[in-house]
Amino acid sequence: GAPRVLVTGGAGFIGSHTAKLLRLEGIEPIVYDNLTTGNRSSVRWGPFIEGDILDSDGLIEVIEKYAPDAVIHFAASAYVGESVQNPAKYYNNNVCGALSLADACRQTGLQNIIFSSSCAVYGIPPTLPIDEATPKAPINPYGKTKLIGENVLADYAVAFGLRYVALRYFNACGADPEGELGEWHFPETHLIPRAMQAAAGQIPHLEIFGDDYDTPDGTCIRDYIHVADLARAHVLAFDHLVRGGPNLALNLGTGRGFSIKEVLLMIEETTGREVPIVIRPRRPGDPPSLYADPGLARETLGFRPQHSDLKTIVRTAAPFFGLEVRS
Ligand code: UFG
């Protein structure tokens, strides 16, 4: 029959876009999600099982029922600020969750895991761009839990023959180019959706967290990667593992950084709406500048972003905020 993938967190932002692409590629996505941050209506491309990542027995049951060829593990908590306030939640969901899944895989003989990691594992990098040899020195609990997740996989690989690809996302953004899925998080804290809410008059203004950084215009620089490109990277990672390729930990970024002000300018140009702003103090834990060296993902997976120019990111995201695209 068709290949199958268990997608934990498949009702979330990146998970649902990936489930859609898997289906398009003839791979059946089996979504397992507890719906705390995921959205039931975003599960449309395969079976849905409501369940928690910490429930190892529940995972084992699903794996035995569907016999997937791999698991893509998105189910995790992903707010840097919240991780500082409530590290217990992050160590539970992200560390115990990864362990629960790795153990369920071990018990059922499911060998292949694709793991959602983050550029947050690097903390404040000593040099730019960030390649995979950059020291991993996370500065917040979120990044630390992602690094522990990667370490669990690496150690289980040595001891138990687990096979994995860890994908370190830079700034995920944008939305389904066909308009079926949007960018949403609850609560919304991410730059591009917040800026669009402000442009659409849904919030009074965008708060810019610091304009006195040591960057050309004083605002933070990030590497924005379109969610459709991230989805593609997961399909490539799946192909890599089923073909017997080696374990990998890869950056997923474009190699280009944009400042907050550059992002806002693109939103204004593309939608014809002004983004009202207020300047606020720096947000604790924000590195001034982060962008990837995307070379290793290109060499090992053939990954090349196709949708991640800033214009396309803004054009695909805008309709979900009721914003027209003018150019
Ligand atoms: N920002 C604002 N105002 C806002 C929201 C964001 O000025 O209302 C700024 C932030 O301070 C930061 C930049 O815009 O400088 C991007 O912020 P996001 O919250 O969109 O993204 P982050 O770079 O903080 O976070 C992303 C991922 C995390 C990951 C982190 C790694 O969302 O999962 O990158 O640094 F951990």
The reported pLDDT for the residue numbered 196 is: 97
Instruction: Compute, in angstroms, the gap from residue 209 CA to the centroid of ligand 1.
Output: 9
The reported pLDDT for the residue numbered 314 is: 98
Which ipTM did the prediction report? 0.96
Q: Which atom of ligand 1 is nearest to the CA of 283?
A: 11
Instruction: Compute, in angstroms, the gap from residue 191 CA to the centroid of ligand 1.
Output: 6
Tell me the two tokens of residue 271. Answer: 């939608």
Identify the residue whose C-alpha is closest to ligand 1 atom 33.
Answer: 78
What pTM did the predictor assign? 0.97
CA 172 vs CA 4, 138, 146, 192, 256: distances in Å: 25, 18, 16, 10, 14
Contact 108, 60 (CB under 8 A): yes
Q: Which residues are catalytic?
A: 142
211 lines ligand 1 (CB under 6 A): no
Instruction: Compute, in angstroms, the gap from residue 170 CA to the centroid of ligand 1.
Output: 10
The reported pLDDT for the residue numbered 273 is: 97
Residue ranges of alpha helices (H) inside 43-169 are: 56-66, 80-85, 87-90, 97-108, 141-160
Out of 74, 82, 134, 171, mutate this one to test ligand 1's pocket (max ligand atoms within 8 Å of CB): namely 171
Instruction: Compute, in angstroms, the gap from residue 190 CA to the centroid of ligand 1.
Output: 6
The reported pLDDT for the residue numbered 176 is: 97
Domains annotated for the chain, with CATH where assigned, are: 4-173+225-252 (3.40.50.720), 191-222+255-321 (3.90.25.10)
Out of 90, 122, 190, 214, mutate this one to test ligand 1's pocket (max ligand atoms within 8 Å of CB): namely 190
Identify the residue whose C-alpha is closest to ligand 1 atom 21.
Answer: 190
Give the tens place of pLDDT for each residue, 229-252: 999 999 999 999 999 999 999 999
Reference 172, options 237, 95, 254, 97; nearest CA is 254
Per-residue pLDDT of the chain (327 residues; tens, 9 = 90+): 899 999 999 999 999 999 999 999 999 999 999 999 999 999 999 999 999 999 999 999 999 999 999 999 999 999 998 999 999 999 999 999 999 999 999 999 999 999 999 999 999 999 999 999 999 999 999 999 999 999 999 999 999 999 999 999 999 999 999 999 988 788 899 999 999 999 999 999 999 999 999 999 999 999 999 999 999 999 999 999 999 999 999 999 999 999 999 999 999 999 999 999 999 999 988 899 999 999 999 999 999 999 999 999 999 999 999 999 998
Tell me the two tokens of residue 30. Answer: 């089996």
